[in-house]
Chains A and B, each alone.
Chain A
């Protein structure tokens, strides 16, 4: 009996949805995973090359197209290799087996005598003259996967495990028109949306003449309910009009965030949906030493380097939408809810944008384009958000408060751990409900989605990594989901994992200090998972960790560790830094066990990126509110929402361990939480006191020093 199929092959069983042999010598790999800058298409090509035994150069990858590729939901959660990759592996193994079976029939031999080399069928190692392409007429791939094909053993891989150069990078280095922003369709109009400030706000008055004057060129207004857009053939005029319009459109029922709501502590006073998960509260905590600490983190922006962009064309009853979002099928389902077009009459195609790191404005921008396109049949419409629009209207990562309460044994080790979490949702994707920004401005907007966060079965949202991986006899989470936040929140790389790991690992250092132990030794003393131990030991060796490094000197070093979602890659980070009134990163080391690694250099690139981005979050980033600002946000450009600069990035060493394991573990979000924690612990070591609130700004450092 065959092993159960990987989940995404089970849900997309037809083999011709995964692989095609379109012409002699050519292979098309079809994947629902989309390129977000993480190199996933190169990894998919490597997997297919290995399992099919074809040269990588023969492979073309098509991704994220509702007409042809499998429905793999969202490209998110570090799932692409861990879930999508194994589906691709099995699909290719099944296809290879079908071709070998057919070749065996043709040759009158046993399939066991056959093998494949670069698409050609060999019998006992000698060419048979048959290949995938010559057999294609006789093999029907419009059949369901069975799991009958056996994927290769790790030892037999030739492409998987190789640091193949990224297939998409040359175009990006030579300035080719590879991004969705670069698409130009015949007869296309440019468009900018005059954004509804919030759900329920209605347009009062529009000074069209003032907007036209600002455009200094021909523009046209498109309006449907409270959805207002400006379109025209000349992008310069449309951009001018779009930039000027907010000052010339008066809205009713505007709700503006106020500064008091910007800090995470505001959440503590709000109505919440409460849950407790995990072990029951201890019946008798008498005699145990107690430890408690509270940590906060403000709202973060995805701050993608390109503003969101979407194109749409409604022609002959069919709507085509081009998007750089993470899930073409879910977007199609959402668009079918808000537009008078069924999913069957709609094609949604992914075209790369800049890195998104989660749910940014991409879905909304393509919905904007679709809404306008429906009003302009036959005319391709391109919406590109303005910079300020992106900062103000992209969904933010929820602010969070995390309180840890631990009971300790006589050695100062935790025996009971409670992680109490207050947060807005980390899941606000359009999904099937039509939850898209432009749709909220249409007549009959979709209903407000019910309060919900990512289920624990999918790794949790605010609860992600809320349970320490350490050997603690009893753990629980108390989750307060705050349904009503002043700004829209959704998924950003790592979701709740970063605040949770920051809290857990900060506490571990403080507990180690109470116990008079070195932070690394203390962690190892409560770590039973051998892969976790190996990861921590590896990073300590890389960083030449000194147990007796003196603290409070202004130079600090700290460690952070987590296994992402407690089920993806293990990652440990050591940071060395200097603190006076500012924090200067000096050096960062990272060891990661991601199991089977398809493309080691690609994985390291992702881990480095996760480190730098987390460092930026922890040192600099918080979305700030100001009711005097037109939008209510005082973070609306790169000056008011600064991120880490080149001169602030230290040398970073990343090493992978255990790369020949059988199973790949998602790596894209693994290093962020440990990095945040390691920076926090290094700052604590350097100052001799802990700062519990992120970001670690100059004001907070000075306040902590003055309080001490």
Chain B
């Protein structure tokens, strides 16, 4: 018995045949679709390493059954940009050197994108609150907050 689930990832339609419908979306992204940018951190929806956008809303996907995204739009960090065409957030993270081990960054970039999509001019406290669902263990918080603030300014056209 094969289960097939269809949805969109980074703007492209995909049809996957996971173990079953309860298979976590994260496993499908990493093991079926080869999109390794979304990381496994806990499997408990606690740490935010696996944050993706589902129809534009930030969601942890390590325990989210794949059936629940049927017909929906999923955006991963790979869909935000790449070295040739980085998203302003990715560029700002590089500019501010906002990373140490970098394992948490994919999820943080996604959470930050969701914030800036909804609130183009957040305060530091609003950025921090939006990232409270993401854990950074290396202590890169100050740089990450600065990078998100910078990206917001760039996206508003106030900074290059």
Taking Cβ atoms with an 8 Å cutoff, the residues of A that contact B are 36-39, 163, 165-166, 168-179, 181-182, 184, 216-217, 234-237, 239, 243, 303-307, 352-355, 357, 384, 386-387, 601-602, 605-606, 608-613, 616, 637-639, 643-647, 649, 651-652
Q: Are B40 and A169 in contact (CB under 8 A)?
A: no
Q: Are B47 and A647 in contact (CB under 8 A)?
A: no
Q: Are B100 and A646 in contact (CB under 8 A)?
A: no
Q: Are A305 and B47 in contact (CB under 8 A)?
A: yes
Q: Are B37 and A175 in contact (CB under 8 A)?
A: yes
Q: Are B142 and A37 in contact (CB under 8 A)?
A: no
Q: Is the interface of B mostly helix, strand, loop or mixed?
A: loop
A483 to chain B, nearest CB (A): 30
Q: Are B86 and A601 in contact (CB under 8 A)?
A: no
Q: Are A217 and B83 in contact (CB under 8 A)?
A: no
Q: Are A652 and B142 in contact (CB under 8 A)?
A: yes
Q: Are B39 and A179 in contact (CB under 8 A)?
A: yes
A644 to B140, CA, bound (A): 11
B113 to chain A, nearest CB (A): 12
Q: Closest residue of chain A to B41, judged by CB?
A: A305
Q: Mark B115-155, 1 if CB is under 8 A from A, else 0.
A: 00000000001011101101111111111110000000000
The listed residue (B24, B81, B101, B145) touching A236 by CB distance below 8 A is B24
A357 to B46, CA, bound (A): 21
Does B53 reach chain A (CB closer than 8 Å)? no
Assess A354 versus B37: contact at CB under 8 Å? Given A174-B77, A386-B43. Answer: no
Q: Closest residue of chain B to A638, judged by CB?
A: B46
Assess A168 versus B102: contact at CB under 8 Å? Given A174-B82, A387-B43, A646-B131. Answer: yes
A309 to chain B, nearest CB (A): 9
The listed residue (A602, A638, A652) touching B135 by CB distance below 8 A is A638
Q: Are A306 and B40 in contact (CB under 8 A)?
A: yes
Q: Closest residue of chain B to A239, judged by CB?
A: B43
Q: Closest residue of chain B to A601, judged by CB?
A: B97
A530 to chain B, nearest CB (A): 30
Q: Are A172 and B99 in contact (CB under 8 A)?
A: yes
Q: Are B40 and A38 in contact (CB under 8 A)?
A: no
Q: Are A613 and B137 in contact (CB under 8 A)?
A: yes
Assess A169 versus B139: contact at CB under 8 Å? Given A217-B19, A646-B134. Answer: no
A180 to chain B, nearest CB (A): 11
The listed residue (B30, B83, B135) touching A170 by CB distance below 8 A is B83
The listed residue (B24, B104, B138) touching A609 by CB distance below 8 A is B138
Does B55 reach chain A (CB closer than 8 Å)? no
B108 to chain A, nearest CB (A): 9
Assess A608 versus B140: contact at CB under 8 Å? Given A173-B105, A305-B47. Answer: yes
Q: Are B90 and A355 in contact (CB under 8 A)?
A: no
Q: Are B47 and A638 in contact (CB under 8 A)?
A: yes
Q: Of A169, A175, A179, A611, which is in contact with the most chain B CB atoms at under 10 Å from its CB?
A: A175
Q: Are B109 and A173 in contact (CB under 8 A)?
A: yes
Assess A165 versus B37: contact at CB under 8 Å? Given A175-B106, A355-B137, A647-B125. Answer: no
Q: Of B20, B99, B131, which is in contact with the most chain A CB atoms at under 10 Å from its CB?
A: B99
Taking CB atoms, residues of chain B closer than 8 Å to A652 are 142
Taking CB atoms, residues of chain B closer than 8 Å to A606 are 100
Return 21 A-B CB contacts under 8 Å, by A number. Answer: A37-B102, A37-B138, A169-B93, A170-B94, A173-B105, A174-B90, A179-B39, A236-B19, A305-B103, A305-B137, A306-B41, A353-B101, A606-B100, A608-B143, A611-B139, A612-B141, A638-B46, A638-B135, A644-B139, A649-B128, A651-B142
The listed residue (A182, A352, A357) touching B36 by CB distance below 8 A is A182
- Among B3-32, those with CB < 8 Å from A are 18-20, 22-24, 27, 30-31
Assess A216 versus B20: contact at CB under 8 Å? Given A175-B36, A235-B31, A306-B41. Answer: yes
Assess A608 versus B47: contact at CB under 8 Å? Given A216-B20, A353-B103. Answer: no
Top 5 nearest A-B pairs (CB, nearest first) are A175-B37, A37-B101, A172-B102, A612-B139, A609-B139
A337 to chain B, nearest CB (A): 29
Q: Are A354 and B106 in contact (CB under 8 A)?
A: no
Does B42 reach chain A (CB closer than 8 Å)? yes
Does B74 reach chain A (CB closer than 8 Å)? no
A232 to chain B, nearest CB (A): 10
Q: Are A643 and B142 in contact (CB under 8 A)?
A: no
Q: Are B23 and A236 in contact (CB under 8 A)?
A: yes
B135 to chain A, nearest CB (A): 6
Taking CB atoms, residues of chain A closer than 8 Å to B141 are 612, 644, 646, 649
Taking CB atoms, residues of chain B closer than 8 Å to A637 are 42, 44, 46
Q: Closest residue of chain A to B23, judged by CB?
A: A236
Q: Mark B60-76, 1 if CB is under 8 A from A, else 0.
A: 00000000000000001
Q: Are B143 and A306 in contact (CB under 8 A)?
A: no
A646 to B134, CA, bound (A): 8
Q: Are A235 and B27 in contact (CB under 8 A)?
A: yes
Taking CB atoms, residues of chain B closer than 8 Å to A306 are 39-41, 49, 103
Taking CB atoms, residues of chain B closer than 8 Å to A179 are 36, 39, 103
Q: Closest residue of chain A to B124, judged by CB?
A: A651
Taking CB atoms, residues of chain A closer than 8 Å to B99 are 37, 166, 169, 172-173
Taking CB atoms, residues of chain B closer than 8 Å to A643 are 135, 137
Taking CB atoms, residues of chain A closer than 8 Å to B37 are 174-177
B28 to chain A, nearest CB (A): 9
Q: Closest residue of chain B to A612, judged by CB?
A: B139
Known: A173-B94, A236-B24, A646-B136. 19 other contacts (CB 8 A): A37-B102, A39-B100, A168-B102, A173-B102, A175-B76, A175-B106, A236-B31, A305-B41, A305-B49, A387-B42, A387-B43, A609-B138, A609-B139, A611-B139, A643-B137, A644-B141, A645-B128, A646-B144, A651-B142
Q: Are A647 and B132 in contact (CB under 8 A)?
A: yes
Taking CB atoms, residues of chain B closer than 8 Å to A37 are 99-103, 138
Taking CB atoms, residues of chain A closer than 8 Å to B137 are 303-305, 354-355, 357, 613, 643
B118 to chain A, nearest CB (A): 17
Q: Are B102 and A609 in contact (CB under 8 A)?
A: no
